[in-house]
Amino acid sequence: MKTIIAEKPSVAREIARIVGATKREDGYFEGSGYAVTWAFGHLVQLAMPDGYGIRGFVRDNLPVIPDTFTLIPRQVKTEKGYKPDSSVVAQIKIITRLFNQSNQIIVATDAGREGELIFRYLYHYIGCTTPFVRLWINSLTDKAIREGLRNLEAGSKYDNLYLAAKARSESDWLVGINGTQALSIAAGHGTYSAGRVQTPTLAMVCARYWENRRFTVEPFWQLHFAADAGGGDTVKFSSTEKWKAKEPATELYNKIKEAGTATVTKAERKEKIEDTPLLYDLTTLQKDANSKHGFTAEQTLEIVAPSHCPFLICSHTLKTLFAYRLWLWQTGIIAESTKLMLLHLSNAASFIKNIRWKNARGMSSRNRLYDTAVGKSFVRWLLI
């Protein structure tokens, strides 16, 4: 048997479909000689200082530099401190059993440094010796998955990528643990968190905040003029340069005014190809309504999903249809002939009765709130 491990369940599901592992088991799919399992991101992490016998923030313990870093299952914070995540521990047990029963492991974690680390940390924590190969793909299309499975690469090819990820992980730990303890001890009270990414990111946010708060309006002058392009057309020009003093701009303006003409010394023309935009979904509609008309997200939602049609906010498809109908009506594109054509489509309106919604757990369930008559009325209203 071969075991394929993906980084998350959604990816595992796509790969399982391609390899024919259609039987769902607890924590994996099985079939056609494959077991396809998954992680939930990092199942294994570096142990906290408690794992090395260091408790509390004590100046004499700094710097905390373990001789060898210890791997443990991912922890969750509770009222009594950190403890292993029960769902993670259960998944690790499933993966351990599958790895030990397999004659080959196919690593299908994300194609990148972090994806490599997720698998290698888990592999070393389990103490597995089963040989592994790498599925390196950047797309989840059927074609990409099949091509990747036909061109599996030796796991050792990515050893240096793993070592780079491991160095990054351990340096993050050293900076975060020691920086946080040192700052907190120096402050004398409270806990002040520091991190390799966190601290400079917060510094950038704070710097931008103070830049905004301390901003003072400064007047400037810019040259604008219009020229006759012939045929009744007018071309407008603006200077790229801006002046803090009025005199240079005025002097230049007077020169152009006196000359009465301007010479174009350079012209650039670029061709741009844009794909036809998709129909509106709610998010895109809210963005455009805000930028073009100043509507807030709540105002747009109230317009497109009134209280008597609460199901509009439940289905991406219905939201898109509604926005399309609204656009047709507002732009005047919809004609009487088109209305009649769309009206005939409402004969299929019984689909409302059989729409499959997604509940909180992602499971499919039927909506039986609307009978055929109500469904027809709604689709007729939606489409014309």
CATH number of the domain residue 149 falls in: 3.40.50.140
Residue 346, domain extent: 282-383
Domain membership flag for residue 215: no
- Whether residues 318 and 356 share a domain: the answer is yes
**Which letter does DSSP use for residue 275 in this model?**
P
Tokens at 255, concatenated: 């020169």
- Whether residues 234 and 126 share a domain: the answer is no
pLDDT, block means (10 residues), the chain with 384 residues: 96 96 96 96 95 92 95 91 92 97 97 96 97 94 95 97 96 95 93 92 95 91 83 82 90 87 83 81 82 83 59 46 53 46 42 40 40 46 44
- Whether residues 147 and 48 share a domain: the answer is yes
Domain membership flag for residue 219: no
- Whether residues 35 and 137 share a domain: the answer is yes
pLDDT given at position 272: 87
- Whether residues 135 and 24 share a domain: the answer is yes
Q: What's the total number of domains in the chain?
A: 3
Domain membership flag for residue 72: yes
Does the N-terminal peptide bond of residue 63 adopt cis geometry, omega within 30 degrees of 0? Answer: yes
What is the full DSSP assignment across 78-129?
Answer: ETTEEEE-HHHHHHHHHHHHHHHH-SEEEEES-SSHHHHHHHHHHHHHHT--
pLDDT given at position 61: 93
Domain membership flag for residue 38: yes
- Whether residues 308 and 242 share a domain: the answer is no
Domain membership flag for residue 75: yes
- Whether residues 255 and 304 share a domain: the answer is no
pLDDT given at position 286: 83
Measuring CA to CA, which residue among 87, 42, 49, 81 is closest to residue 65? Answer: 49
This prediction has a pTM of: 0.61
- Whether residues 79 and 147 share a domain: the answer is yes
SS3 of 71, please? strand
pLDDT in tens, 52-88: 999 999 999 999 999 999 999 999 988 888 899 999 9
Measuring CA to CA, which residue among 299, 274, 279 is closest to residue 289? Answer: 299
Q: 27 in the Ramachandran plot: left (φ > 0), alpha (ψ -120 to 50) or beta?
A: left
pLDDT given at position 367: 40
Domain membership flag for residue 171: no
8 A C-beta contact, residue 109 and residue 122: no
Measuring CA to CA, which residue among 217, 112, 103 is closest to residue 164? Answer: 112
Domain membership flag for residue 190: no
pLDDT in tens, 39-48: 999 999 999 9
| Strand runs labelled E in 120-204 | 132-134, 153-154
Cα(200)–Cα(97) distance, rounded to whole angstroms? Answer: 42
